[in-house]
């Protein structure tokens, strides 16, 4: 492992912690007490190592420009999405309709904005996230479409963290793919 890898793991961990804290505040939930667990994965192998390729997930992805550049995402399993909707008092219909898409997009926007802000500060500048892209489908398919410009160029750093306590903890998976 190189010092550049160490640095990117640290940056991802800090970004994920800020994202998790922002989501916790939105949901009036207990913020994680442990730092996120971060690992480096080839983009082509994200589906199959971190996720099952045909696992149903909701994902929010942005492109980050400014003092740091890359792609960032927040991924929620179907169960976690259901919990989030329940806590926000959004009736779950089982459909990923415009209302649910909007909720997921806003949640993701809050999370990645917090993370991008932290990453920008770490680099002594400003990181600007794009308007988010949102999807709800098989993990392998969503990740490849969102991250295809980085395929074979960059590695993904994946940080996992959990909000809350007890059986109703919410697992968040945060992705940072620095521009290669």
Partner 1 sequence: MNPGQIVGVGSLLVGRAPERLRALGVGSCVAVSLWDPDQQLGGLAHVPLPRCGDEGGPLCGFVDSALEQLQSLLVGAGAREGGLEAKAAGGASLLKSAAPRQTAPIGPRNVEALHEILDALGIPLVASDLGGESARSVTFDTASGALEVHCLFDLRRTL
Is position 131 an interface residue for partner 1 (rule: CB under 8 A)? yes
- Nearest Cα to 173, choosing from 42, 91, 81, 70? 81
Binding mask 60-99 for partner 1 (x = CB under 8 A): -x--------------------------------------
Is position 141 an interface residue for partner 1 (rule: CB under 8 A)? yes
3-state secondary structure of 16: helix
The strand pair at 37-42 and 155-163 is best described as antiparallel
Is position 134 an interface residue for partner 1 (rule: CB under 8 A)? yes
Phi, psi of 151 (to 5 degrees): -60, 130
* 133 burial level (CB within 10 Å; 0-12, 13-18, 19+): middle
Residue 135: beta bridge partners? 59
Binding mask 4-43 for partner 1 (x = CB under 8 A): ----------------------------------------
The whole-angstrom separation of Cα 109 and Cα 165 is: 24
Helix and strand numbers, DSSP H then E, in the chain = 5, 7
Nearer to partner 1, 73 or 117 (CB): 73
Is position 140 an interface residue for partner 1 (rule: CB under 8 A)? yes
Is position 135 an interface residue for partner 1 (rule: CB under 8 A)? yes
Binder among 6, 7, 30, 53 for partner 1 (CB under 8 A): 53
**Site of interaction with partner 1 (CB under 8 A):** 44-45, 47-48, 52-54, 56, 59, 61, 101, 105, 130-135, 137-142, 144-146, 148, 151-153
């Amino acid at each position: 492992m190189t010092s550049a890898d160490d640095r990117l793991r640290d940056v991802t961990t800090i970004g994920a912690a800020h994202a998790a804290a922002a989501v916790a505040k939105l949901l009036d939930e207990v913020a994680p007490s442990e730092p996120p667990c971060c690992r480096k994965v080839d983009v082509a192998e994200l589906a199959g190592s971190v996720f099952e390729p045909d696992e149903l997930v909701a994902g929010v992805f942005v492109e980050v420009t400014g003092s740091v550049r890359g792609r960032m995402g927040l991924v929620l399993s179907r169960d976690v999405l259901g919990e989030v909707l329940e806590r926000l008092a959004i009736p779950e219909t089982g459909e990923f309709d415009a209302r649910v898409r909007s909720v997921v997009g806003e949640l993701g926007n809050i999370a990645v904005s917090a993370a991008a802000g932290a990453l920008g500060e770490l680099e002594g500048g400003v990181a600007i996230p794009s308007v988010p892209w949102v999807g709800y489908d098989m993990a392998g398919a969503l990740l490849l479409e969102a991250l295809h410009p980085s395929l074979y160029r960059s590695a993904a750093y994946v940080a996992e963290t959990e909000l809350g306590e007890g059986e109703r903890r919410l697992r968040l998976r945060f992705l940072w793919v620095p521009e290669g």
